[in-house]
Amino acid sequence: MTSFDYDLFVIGAGSGGLAASKRAAAFGAKVAIAEGDLVGGTCVIRGCVPKKLMVYASHFSHFPHESAGYGWTIPAGTFDWTKLRESIQTEVMRLNKLHISFLEKTNVELISGFAKFVDAHTVAVGDRQFTAERILIAVGGEAAKPDLPGMEYAITSKEMFLLPKFPQRFAVIGGGYIGTEFAGIMHGLGAKATQIIRDRYILRGFDEDVRTNVQEGMVNHGINFHTCIDSSSLTITKNSDDSLTINFKDGSGSPQSLEVDAVLAATGRQPNLAPLNLAQAGIEIVNNAIAVKEDSCTNQPHIYAIGDCTNRVNLTPVAIAEGRAFADTVYGHTPRFISHTNIPSAVFSQPEAATVGLSEEQAKALYGDRVKVYKTKFRPMFYSLAGGEARTMMKLIVVGEEERVLGLHMVGKDAAEIIQGMSLVVTMGGCKKDLDNTMAMHPTAAEEFVTMR
């Protein structure tokens, strides 16, 4: 019988790897986890956690104006970028240490360094080699820049939290959720923000009403947009004063020029596979991602992969769920698989958006004219005294005579918090009558979902 150093060796101490390693160890497995960066992964170090803190920070600039209608006189303050940056990094380091302590408590050995395959059962971390009966790959993804002239001057989301100086003029290239969120953040912190996108609207893949209402709200807040640009025409040059000039052609082919202090390239992410030497283990790659089965197993029966490196649904809670399901199946002997449908998601844009289930476009493609859409748009009560042009949009998509709920979408204040609770209706296969039979909580925005006509 072959003897191994570990029952399980996990490559990557992000959300998924941490969840899997701790649960496997709880079942009695001897586990090691390798990480060459801070412990916590993209979400904790340079993703959803520090980004949400920046979202909170950007909201404070609205307080003096919004509070006036409620009788408050709050003078406009001054913003200290260095203070925010350092406060966020302090919190990141606190979480890093917390995750390390969790590993220690569950007897998971943390090995510092980037791991790569030597063969199907052996990995190397620096000049050391380790063998394992099973190996779990949980290396996540990395921001990818487009191959265009001058992109070396652009930053990615990875650098956004460490900028030495606050950019008074800020541009985002890309219309996805990361770019959209940072456009709102930087605008709220005081920068003149511009978003440059290929499509007419941001957030491709989301429900059309979500896309249009978020973009409309951002424009009303003062964020500038260049839409329908010819991406192949885009170039970035560095000026003598260290500012940057972005040149591109708009939808009509007219040349445009924009001078900024910083450019964020937010055109997508890709699995972080290059350092792994996957060929040494014979692991199959499809479309630049690790190919896995329903149980997260690769083509090698003892090697598994979870999270963004598989490019299934690239969300932190999904990676955690996949990691725990792997451990339950392999070490807890309770086979279970994660459903990748009806997963709620949020965009912490300004205005905020959240969604669960099918978009109207997806629903009609599947069910045709059996689909019925309920929709409302209103001014939230908060703004009746605060002023401003903010609007909330809510949308309910149902199918058939029983009006089974296929999708729920919202743009507006507290959208993520509301959709998280409402997602239960979609997950359980609920119908509109279930919403109708639910007593409204008044006065709230959420009550609109149970009173729609």
268 marked as binding residue: yes
Check residue 251 and give its pLDDT: 85
State the DSSP string of 205-255. Answer: TS-HHHHHHHHHHHHHHT-EEE-S-EEEEEEEEE-TTS-EEEEEE-TTS-E
Which among 331, 316, 325 is positioned nearest to 95, based on CA atoms? 316
Q: How far is CA 355 from CA 348, 410, 416, in A?
A: 12, 6, 8
Q: Please check whether the domain covering 351-450 is classified as CATH 3.40.190.10.
A: no
Rounded distance between C-alpha atoms, residue 310 and residue 305, angstroms:
7
448 marked as binding residue: no
SS3 string of 16-57?
A: HHHHHHHHHHHCCCCEEEEECCCCCHHHHHHCHHHHHHHHHH
Identify whether the C-beta of residue 269 lies closer than 8 Å to the C-beta of residue 143: yes
Looking only at the bridges linking them, the beta strands covering 255-260 and 31-35 are unpaired
pLDDT tens figures, 266-297: 999 999 999 999 999 999 999 999 999 999 99
The residues annotated as belonging to the active site are 442
CATH 3.50.50.60 domain range(s) in the chain: 6-142+270-330, 151-267
CATH value of 6-142+270-330 in 3.40.50.300, 3.40.640.10, 3.20.20.10, 3.50.50.60? 3.50.50.60
Check residue 1 and give its pLDDT: 59
52 marked as binding residue: yes
Using 50 as the pLDDT threshold, list the residues of the chain that sit under it: none
Residue found by looking up tokens 């605008």 in the block: 187
Identify whether the C-beta of residue 389 lies closer than 8 Å to the C-beta of residue 260: no
Q: For the domain 151-267, what is the CATH code?
A: 3.50.50.60
357 marked as binding residue: no
179 marked as binding residue: yes
CATH 3.30.390.30 domain range(s) in the chain: 351-450
Rounded distance between C-alpha atoms, residue 147 and residue 173, angstroms:
13
Q: Which two tokens stand for residue 248?
A: 């591109």
